[in-house]
Amino acid sequence: MKSGSHLEKVLTAGHFAVTAELGPPKGGDAGVIRHGAAMLKDVCDALNVTDNQTAVVRMSSVAACAILKQEGVDPVLQMTCRDRNRLAIQSDILGASALGIRNILCLTGDHQKFGNHPTAKNVHDIDSIQLVQMVKRMRDERKFDCGEEIQGELPFFIGAAANPFADPYEFRPIRLAKKVKAGADFIQSQAVFNVEKFRDYMARVRDMGLLEKVYFLAGVIPVKSVGMIRYMKESVAGLDIPDELVRRMENAEKAREEGVRICVELIQQIREIPGVRGVHIMAVAWESIVPRIVEEAGLLPRPVASTGPTQGE
């Protein structure tokens, strides 16, 4: 066990893991986080806290993770390279460890152009793969990036993102291999809508022998409206949304219901793909739908940490 986090225990015990995303508030009220925790605690194994997601300023992910800890949730600290240099990143990692945070997801970060401070400088002192390696070195060798020694342990379960659909498509498994080699223990992928393409990607990743070295959690996004799926199809780079899904949303009597149905179906299909060890539900500004999706996808009850997989898992 590298970190002893609940997520790590669930995955190493062989369960199909469920994680979800919680966006911190655009304000200083801890109540929003506590409310999210109460809502999602029993339907997820761990909760990701986004780090100024889409470059919009929100409550610090370290602080929000600490609040989740208090609420009995296993948090996944999302850490981007956009807003911090290597000094700030390392000091935040020390702080996160002190607060009992055990999972970290290492990300590049969305460009600030898409956020609410488009004239800001971006940092990108190191990139996400270098960050993975840095955290691994901090944990395993107890060394800072500069080589100086760190006092005490930093037990982190190290995560990285993967986008199976971005261009150049052929390069994507290679980039994943670099992240695994750098030290990623688990992967949370970009949202899957095109299951065929994802299956092909996973086959290539499997052939490269990566799935023996990393726990792969596939991302899904429940779609709330026709406008949302159209927007994601047309304007969000790195998403691959088949026309059929857009048509289903357009023709549905109740778009939200169809969105839930699609999400549940996607989870069920993705789960059948060899090597997928869990699902990561990114219900952007629609966290309240997560319990229903997890239930309808047949993923309840969630395992208690120390037990092995239940029958049928």
Partner 1 sequence: MIIGEQKPLEEIKELIGDARKVLVAGCGTCVAVCSAGGEREAQILASALRLAFQVDGNSREVTEATVQRQCEWEYIDPLAEQVAESDVVVSLACGIGVQTLVERFPEAWIVPGLNTTFLGMPQEQGIWVERCQACGQCILGVTAGICPIARCSKQLLNGPCGGSHDGKCEVNPDIECAWHLIYERLRKLGKLELMLRFQPAKDWSVSRDGGPRRIVREDLRVLPET
Q: Tell me whether residue 123 or residue 289 sits nearer to partner 1 (CB atom).
A: 123
* Of 12, 31, 5, the residue nearest 215 (C-alpha): 12
**Residue that the structure tokens 């999602």 belong to:** 40
- Interface residues with partner 1 (CB under 8 A) are 111-113, 118-122
| Minimum distance, C-beta of residue 84 to partner 1, in the bound complex (Å) | 15
| Minimum distance, C-beta of residue 167 to partner 1, in the bound complex (Å) | 17
| Minimum distance, C-beta of residue 234 to partner 1, in the bound complex (Å) | 20
Q: Tell me whether residue 112 or residue 189 sits nearer to partner 1 (CB atom).
A: 112
Q: Tell me whether residue 76 or residue 126 sits nearer to partner 1 (CB atom).
A: 126
Cβ-Cβ contacts under 8 Å for 187 (sequence gap 6 or more): 159, 160, 161, 162, 176, 179, 180, 214, 215, 216, 217
Q: Tell me whether residue 29 or residue 127 sits nearer to partner 1 (CB atom).
A: 127
| Minimum distance, C-beta of residue 7 to partner 1, in the bound complex (Å) | 34
| Minimum distance, C-beta of residue 113 to partner 1, in the bound complex (Å) | 7
Q: Tell me whether residue 115 or residue 275 sits nearer to partner 1 (CB atom).
A: 115
| Minimum distance, C-beta of residue 47 to partner 1, in the bound complex (Å) | 31
Q: Tell me whether residue 60 or residue 122 sits nearer to partner 1 (CB atom).
A: 122
Q: Tell me whether residue 118 or residue 209 sits nearer to partner 1 (CB atom).
A: 118
| Minimum distance, C-beta of residue 179 to partner 1, in the bound complex (Å) | 24
Q: Tell me whether residue 113 or residue 181 sits nearer to partner 1 (CB atom).
A: 113
List Cβ<8 Å contacts ≥24 apart for 261-269: 262/222, 262/223, 263/220, 263/221, 263/222, 263/223, 263/293, 263/297, 264/293, 264/296, 264/297, 266/192, 266/193, 266/195, 266/220, 267/220, 267/293, 267/297, 267/299, 268/297, 268/298, 269/195
| Minimum distance, C-beta of residue 119 to partner 1, in the bound complex (Å) | 4
Q: Tell me whether residue 113 or residue 247 sits nearer to partner 1 (CB atom).
A: 113
| Minimum distance, C-beta of residue 112 to partner 1, in the bound complex (Å) | 7
